[in-house]
Amino acid sequence: MTTRAIALAGGIALALAGGGTARGQRKVARQSVVPAPALQVRAPARKAPPARARLPRPIRVLSTKQAVRFMDEVARRESRFHEPGVGYDRETGLTHDGHNIDFETGELAGGPRNWSAASKESLHVTLLVKALESDRTAQLVVSPDDPARAGEVALAILTRKIASFEKFNKRYPGYGGFLPWFKVEDRQMKPMPGWENRVPGLDNGQLAWSLYVAADALQKLGHADVARRVQGHLDLMKKNVVPIFYDPEKQQLRAEAELVEGSGVAPEKNRYLNHVAGYFLDDAYEGLLINHFADLFGSWDKHPDGKEALWAAPRRRPSTYTTESGKKITVVQGHWFSSHEEWGFLVLPFRDHVPAKILYQNAQRVRTTHAAELRIPGLYASTHQPVTTTSAPAYVSDLGIAAIARLPVTPAAILTPYAAFPLALADRRVFATWLKTMLAAPRMWGPRGMGESFSAGGDRMAPVLTWDGKMLPLIAWMGGSEADVRRLLQRDGLYERFLGRVKADYREFEGKVIEGADLPLLAPTATVPRVLGGFRRSESP
* Edge-first strand listing for the sheet containing 198-200: 198-200, 256-259, 272-274
CA separation for the pair 188, 494 (Å, rounded): 36
Query: Could you tell me how many residues make up the chain?
Result: 541
- B/e letters for 503-539, b = 16+ CB within 10 Å, e = fewer, are bbbbeebeeeebbbbbbbbbbbbbebeeebebbeeee
Nearest to 351 by CA among 14, 9, 5: 14
Q: How high is the pLDDT of residue 44?
A: 42
Question: Is the distance from CB of 142 to CB of 127 less than 8 angstroms?
Answer: yes
CA separation for the pair 12, 113 (Å, rounded): 49
- What is the crossing angle of helices 224-245 and 202-220, to 10°? 160
The string of pLDDT tens digits covering residues 520-534 is 999 999 999 999 999
- What is the crossing angle of helices 428-439 and 64-78, to 10°? 50
Q: How high is the pLDDT of residue 204?
A: 98
Q: How high is the pLDDT of residue 541?
A: 59
- What is the crossing angle of helices 482-491 and 202-220, to 10°? 70
Q: How high is the pLDDT of residue 168?
A: 98
CA separation for the pair 260, 174 (Å, rounded): 9
Q: Which amino acid is at 368?
A: T
Q: How high is the pLDDT of residue 414?
A: 98
CA separation for the pair 338, 415 (Å, rounded): 11
CA separation for the pair 205, 234 (Å, rounded): 11
Question: Is the distance from CB of 201 to CB of 287 less than 8 angstroms?
Answer: yes
Q: Which residues contact 496 (CB under 8 A, 6 or more apart)?
A: none
CA separation for the pair 417, 381 (Å, rounded): 9
Can you say how many angstroms the Cα of residue 453 is from the centroid of all Cα atoms in its chain? 17
Q: What phi and psi, each to the nearest 5 degrees, are found at residue 423? A: -65, -25
Can you say how many angstroms the Cα of residue 19 is from the centroid of all Cα atoms in its chain? 21
Beta bridge partners of 252: 247
CA separation for the pair 252, 86 (Å, rounded): 37
Tens of pLDDT along the chain (541 residues) come to: 333 333 343 332 333 333 333 323 333 232 333 333 344 555 444 344 444 456 778 899 999 999 999 999 999 999 999 999 999 999 999 999 999 999 999 999 999 999 999 999 999 999 999 999 999 999 999 999 999 999 999 999 999 999 999 999 999 999 999 999 999 999 999 999 999 999 999 999 999 999 999 999 999 999 999 999 999 999 999 999 999 999 999 999 999 999 999 999 999 999 999 999 999 999 999 999 999 999 999 999 999 999 999 999 999 999 999 999 999 999 999 999 999 999 999 999 999 999 999 999 999 999 999 999 999 999 999 999 999 999 989 999 999 999 999 999 998 899 999 999 999 999 999 999 999 999 999 999 999 999 999 999 999 999 999 999 999 999 999 999 999 999 999 999 999 999 999 999 999 999 999 999 999 999 999 999 999 999 987 444 5
For residue 79, the SS3 value is: coil
The string of pLDDT tens digits covering residues 431-466 is 999 999 999 999 999 999 999 999 999 999 999 999
Q: What DSSP assignment string belongs to 84-126?
A: BTTTB-TTT-PBPSEEEE-TTT--EEEEEE--B-HHHHHHHHH
CA separation for the pair 195, 252 (Å, rounded): 22
User: Cβ of 457: how many Cβ atoms within 10 Å?
Assistant: 14
Q: What phi and psi, each to the nearest 5 degrees, are found at residue 72? A: -60, -40
User: Cβ of 460: how many Cβ atoms within 10 Å?
Assistant: 23
Q: Give the 3-state secondary structure of 227-250.
A: HHHHHHHHHHHHHHHHHHHEECCC
Q: For 123-255, where are the E strands, in sequence order?
A: 182-185, 188-191, 198-200, 246-247, 252-253
